[in-house]
Amino acid sequence: MRVKIVKDLAFLLVSIVCAIFQTVGVTTVHWWVVQNILVNGSSTETSFGIWQTNECIDHHCTTENRQLSGELAWLLGVAVIESVSAALCILSVGVATGFVIRTIQERDTITMKKLYIVLLGGAGAVIILGVLLFVKKKAGLTPLQSLQTKDGNPAWSLALSSAAGGISILAAVAMAMYTFCNSDEDDEEDEKMTEYWQNKLKELDNITTVTVTDKQKVSEKL
**DSSP-H helix ranges across 105-155:** 110-137
Q: What pLDDT is attached to residue 120?
A: 93
Q: Which of 15, 10, 29, 1 is nearest to 156 (CA)?
A: 29
Quick check: pTM over 0.85?
A: no
Q: Which among 34, 29, 121 is positioned nearest to 75, based on CA atoms?
A: 29
Give pLDDT < 70 ranges for the chain: 1, 68-72, 139-140, 142-150, 182-222
8 Å CB contact between 20 and 12: no
| 153-198 pLDDT, tens digit each | 888 999 999 999 999 999 999 999 888 776 544 545 445 555 655 6
Q: Residue 159: helix, strand or coil by DSSP?
A: helix
> Hey, how many other C-beta atoms are within 10 angstroms of the C-beta on 143?
9
Task: List the beta bridge partners of residue 57.
Answer: 44, 60
Report the pLDDT value the prediction gives residue 32, as an integer from 0 to 100.
86
Give the SS3 label for residue 46.
strand
The C-alpha atoms of residue 127 and residue 162 are separated, in whole angstroms, by 7
pLDDT value, residue 145: 46
E strand or H helix at 145: none
The pLDDT value given to residue 2? 74
pLDDT at 99: 87
In the chain, the largest separation of any two C-alpha atoms, in whole Å, equals 125
Q: What is the DSSP letter of 96?
A: H
Domains of the chain (ranges plus CATH)? 2-188 (1.20.140.150)
What's the confidence (pLDDT) of residue 88?
A: 94
**End-to-end Cα distance, the chain:** 57
Q: What is the pLDDT of residue 133?
A: 86
For residue 138, CA distances in Å to 75, 142, 160, 221 come to: 9, 9, 17, 102
The H or E element spanning position 213 is: helix 156-221
Position 56 scores a pLDDT of 86
Residue 146 confidence (pLDDT): 47
What pLDDT, on a 0 to 100 scale, did the predictor assign at position 219? 57
- Identify the CA nearest to 90 among candidates 22, 176, 162, 10: 22
